Amino acid sequence: MSSQYRPLDHTPEDMFMSEVDTSYDNGNRLSMGESGHQRGISETSAGGTTSKFIERPSIRPTSSTDSKKDGATPRRTSAVFAIWWKEFIACFLAVAAAIATFATLYPYQGRPLPQWPYLITVNALLSAYMVVLKASATFLLAEGLGQQKWLWFDGAEKPLYDFAVHDEATRGPWGAVKLLTRTSLKHVWHWLGCILILLALFVDPFTQQVLHYSDCNVLEESGMATIPRTNFFAGGGPHAGAGLISITSDEQASINAGMSAPGGHVDVQCTSGNCTYPPFSTIGYCSACQDISDAIQIEWLNYTDINNMSFLGIISYIPDGASVSYVRGPQSNFSTMSILSDNTFQYLVGLPTNGSAGQSAAHPIDPVTEQPPTGCNDAATNGTWRCIGTGAANCTLYPCIRTYNASVRNAALREDLLKETPQLPFIFGNDESVQYFSTLNASCLTDTERDSLQKRGYTINSTTDWIPYNITFSPISNQPQSATNNSTEILNFETTLKQRGCLFSTEVAFVESLTYDYFDYAWAGNLTGVWNMASHGVALFEGPQMLQSLYNYGQFSFERTQSMFRNISESMTNHMRTTPGFEGPDLFSQGAAAVGEVY
């Protein structure tokens, strides 16, 4: 700036004793005189209206020549900072708070919360930044409105009340609202300052909206996560005969538990209570059921008791399979189960009759009420076993390989069955005294191993997932099953497959003993209902527990049968995973448990 301000043109006496005759309106308005002096408050006297005031100094710019004469060479930059230093600091703090907020939040966007010392949190820092930002911004807005206050009175006359309103607007939101009501939209800076003061009220709540917490998994490197699986299972019971072993009480308990729900406790390890596991395979049991109700045949028979009373009986049967003879009397057969092969069971529910009124009397009955079952009037139910009064299914339990996906959330295990192998053929070893059901996971094999197996006569193609395998060396002792086959190359090959978890085996003795030493007496037989002649309903059922659970007091169905076999197979699998049975010198089954990640 090329000019400087001159010293005051008035003496102290002039300033305090000057008196100017001015006209002052009755509205007590404050204005500027032509000479640039500020007018005072009017006084009314008998002679007219005059105003006494302290004359404002006349400030006019001086030329650079005058400045040089006075010898004054102040620096503009220093002068500006000396006047506006507080505003500069406030601007700096506001910008610094905004930058600090970004610098604090950006590194943790979409990432876990930091673990800072002294329990300092992101929320605490963010709140501190906002206090600084809001205080700095409010100070700047107050200073700006203070400057606008003087500009407001520059020009036309304004009421003194406006001075107070401007001053109040610099002190808080209510004053800003009052100033907004006194100004029009053309006063842009007044409106902007007041609006920003009001918006400052919402800084705190909107600051909290910046932070959004969501659940995420954070890998814990030091945690432990394992879940049991097995590549080999041998029954735990002692020798019970040629090719047979006893079924232990724990093995029986796992089967019985599956009659009501999937049983068997899987002891999973997860140190944090939140873990995930990659898909893993384990040897276990699978089931499959086929509805064969269409094959049921019905025959009518006449019976005569010792009192020469005639009764009508009905035989429900599967050709070359199970049959149920139903005669209304003190006791009546309702269902039966028989074993068709090593692992296939045939379940048949016979059609009842009232026993004396002829063939037309044969109809489904509720064994509790001896009346036709209810709820069979719509298409969705009238074709069910319960509503037609009879049904039959062939169900199979067989060793298989089951593949799971597992996770632990809040210490609760969830396992999803991804796939399971179909029933694979048994391949016996060369030594018939030691027989194993074995299979290979084709996806584990290298190209070299595939070629080697194909040369040994195995059929492998691009669609082969599992390969029935004739294991040469005992999974328990690593001893050859035949003295004539002692190939080191095959031993090394099978050992490598074991270590990589590609080879799965179970003893044939356990599979056959399960069928003929347990299921044959625990499941096979007839379900007999004992009638209560007084209530005309079945008082109790006698027979294997499996048949009682399947019939369920007349609430039987194919879906229930299928579900029970599925639950039993899952329960047996859980037992096999956690209790492989034999503890030999080279038990590879317990092999590596599935290892997961801890979060």
pLDDT number for residue 29? 44
Residues 191, 307 within the same domain: no
Residues 110, 199 within the same domain: yes
Q: Which two tokens stand for residue 115?
A: 């673990």
What is the distance between the alpha carbons of residues 158 and 155, in angstroms, rounded to a whole number? Answer: 9
Helix-then-strand count for the chain, H and E: 16, 24
Residues 89, 210 within the same domain: yes
What is the distance between the alpha carbons of residues 469 and 449, in angstroms, rounded to a whole number? Answer: 13
Report the predicted TM-score, pTM, of the whole model to 2 decimal places.
0.66
Residues 189, 313 within the same domain: no
pLDDT number for residue 202? 75
Give the ranges where 331-412 is alpha helix by DSSP (H): 385-388
Containing H/E element for 495? Answer: helix 488-499
pLDDT number for residue 474? 61
121 domain residue, yes or no = yes
Q: Which two tokens stand for residue 183?
A: 């100004």
Among the three residues 541, 569, 594, which one is the final residue of a domain in this structure? 541
137 is in which domain, residue-wise?
76-216
Residue 313, CA atoms < 13 Å, CB-side half-sphere: 18
pLDDT number for residue 483? 42
238 domain residue, yes or no = no
Residues 198, 304 within the same domain: no
Residue 190, CA atoms < 13 Å, CB-side half-sphere: 24
Among the three residues 182, 216, 250, which one is the final residue of a domain in this structure? 216
What burial class does residue 368 get, using C-beta atoms within 10 Å of its C-beta: 0-12 exposed, 13-18 middle, 19+ buried?
middle
Beta strands 525-532 and 331-339: pairing type? antiparallel
249 domain residue, yes or no = no
Q: How many residues does the chain have?
A: 599
With H, G, I as helix, E, B as strand and everything else as coil, classify residue 193: helix
pLDDT number for residue 20? 39
Nearest by Cα to 563 from 554, 553, 552, 574: 552
Count up the domains in the chain and report the number. 2
Could you say which residues of the chain have pLDDT below 50?
Answer: 1-69, 71-73, 356-358, 430-431, 482-484, 583-590
